Amino acid sequence: MRSLYRRSMQRLYVACIALSGLAMVAITLIIPSGVFMRYVMNDPLQWPEPASVIMMVFFSFVGGAAVYRANLHIAVEALLKSVTASPMVKYRGPFVLGMPAEAWFDVGMMQKDLGLALELGRTTGVPLPSVALVNEMLNAARGLGLAAYDFAVVFDVLARLAGLPPSKKS
């Protein structure tokens, strides 16, 4: 029974990938044909844009299901491989999925630095709302008993707020 279930889920996964790919191919054919008919033939079609939007929604949902099944975390991958990714993000990004056994920069150390930044902001009259927000997230991490972990536990606080399970801890 279990092997039948796994085989069916694998087939469904492959079907999701195939249907997403077909939707993407259809979009790439529909849009140029709409442009051709409108600007070259001077006889615009009414259906290409709504059809493309429907296909994009279909592609997003079905493709998202396949990505979830493959356990690919697109947000983390995009963050780590983007143009703006810093070495710090590349180093700490995997901590979102699983915390290290020993924190090199724990919640207390991060809050010390944030406190210094907030004090400087108060002294100079510069509001720092994002710094204050992160500081409150770290306060919540302390309240959840996560002060000994790396400051990437902010993701655990967000997960708890969203009703999702936290990352694995070593």
Query: What local confidence, expressed as pLDDT, does residue 43 receive?
Result: 92
Query: What local confidence, expressed as pLDDT, does residue 97 receive?
Result: 65
From 4, 48, 8, select the one nearest 28 (Cα to Cα): 48
Query: What local confidence, expressed as pLDDT, does residue 120 receive?
Result: 93
Query: What is the span of the domain harbouring residue 20?
Result: 2-72
Which of 72, 96, 121 represents a domain boundary (last residue)? Answer: 72
Query: What local confidence, expressed as pLDDT, does residue 40 receive?
Result: 92
Query: What local confidence, expressed as pLDDT, does residue 119 receive?
Result: 94
CA distance linking residue 21 with residue 63, whole number of Å: 8
In the chain, the N- to C-terminal Cα span, in Å, equals 34
Query: What local confidence, expressed as pLDDT, does residue 150 receive?
Result: 79
14 and 54 inside one domain: yes
Query: What local confidence, expressed as pLDDT, does residue 164 receive?
Result: 80
Burial 99-113 (b: 16+ CB within 10 A, else e): beeebeebbeebbee
Which of 14, 40, 72 represents a domain boundary (last residue)? Answer: 72
41 and 91 inside one domain: no
Q: Report if residue 80 sits inside a domain.
A: no
Query: What local confidence, expressed as pLDDT, does residue 170 receive?
Result: 63
49 and 94 inside one domain: no
Strands 168-169 and 98-99: parallel
Which of 72, 105, 132 represents a domain boundary (last residue)? Answer: 72
What amino acid is encoded at 68 in this protein?
Answer: Y
92 and 158 inside one domain: yes
Query: What local confidence, expressed as pLDDT, does residue 17 receive?
Result: 87
132 and 161 inside one domain: yes
Q: Report if residue 120 sits inside a domain.
A: yes
Number of domains the chain is built from: 2
pTM of the model: 0.47
Query: What local confidence, expressed as pLDDT, does residue 72 receive?
Result: 67
Q: Which CATH number characterizes residue 120's domain?
A: 1.10.1040.10
Low-confidence ranges of the chain (pLDDT < 50): none
Query: What local confidence, expressed as pLDDT, does residue 102 receive?
Result: 75
57 and 109 inside one domain: no
